[in-house]
Amino acid sequence: MVIDVKKSAARGQYEGDFSFTLEPSADKLLIPLCSFGGAVNIEGRYTIYEDDSVGVAFTISYKLVGQCSYCLERAEKQIVYDSDVMFVTDKDDGDNYYYDGIRLDLTSAVNDALLFSQPEVLLCKEGCEGIKIK
């Protein structure tokens, strides 16, 4: 997903909404025995500021499916995660994302949100006690 910042600003449009979906690749998964249950939905809003920096607030949602990390039963979890980031034209700004002042590509921010949003374990239910030894 690319925001055409220059074009948008030239039209006097300094804010806008966006929504798109992304097919996540399996190498973004952090939990073993688990996979993405379909596409990742991304919805958000951008604001272009006078110094060409762009604030982007977005929410990603997706489903994780696989085996419970404790008992290996089938498990799935809907993840919803909010992210609020800033894109700047200064390459040396280590706290924010860089863009060239013309077109802003959200892919890296979305990929980071995908990593940050994943739980450490996938559980079949809250408080799963794992495999019961009889």
Burial class (CB in 10 A: 0-12, 13-18, 19+), 50: exposed
- Residue 57's Cβ-side half-sphere holds a number of Cα atoms within 13 Å equal to 4
**Site membership for Zn ion, residue 1 (CB under 5 A):** no
Tell me how far, at minimum, the Cβ of 124 lies from Zn ion, in Å.
Answer: 3
Inter-CA distances, 96 with 54, 69, 74, 114, Å: 10, 34, 38, 17
Q: Which residues of 111-128 are buried (b: 16+ CB within 10 A; e: fewer)?
A: eebbeebbeeebbbeeeb
* Cβ distance to Zn ion smaller for residue 31 or 128: 128
Tell me how far, at minimum, the Cβ of 115 lies from Zn ion, in Å.
Answer: 24
**Site membership for Zn ion, residue 64 (CB under 5 A):** no
* Cβ distance to Zn ion smaller for residue 35 or 47: 35
**Site membership for Zn ion, residue 65 (CB under 5 A):** no
Among 22, 34, 60, 68, binds Zn ion (CB under 5 A): 68
Tell me how far, at minimum, the Cβ of 72 lies from Zn ion, in Å.
Answer: 7
Interacting residues toward Zn ion by CB under 5 A: 68, 70-71, 73, 124, 128
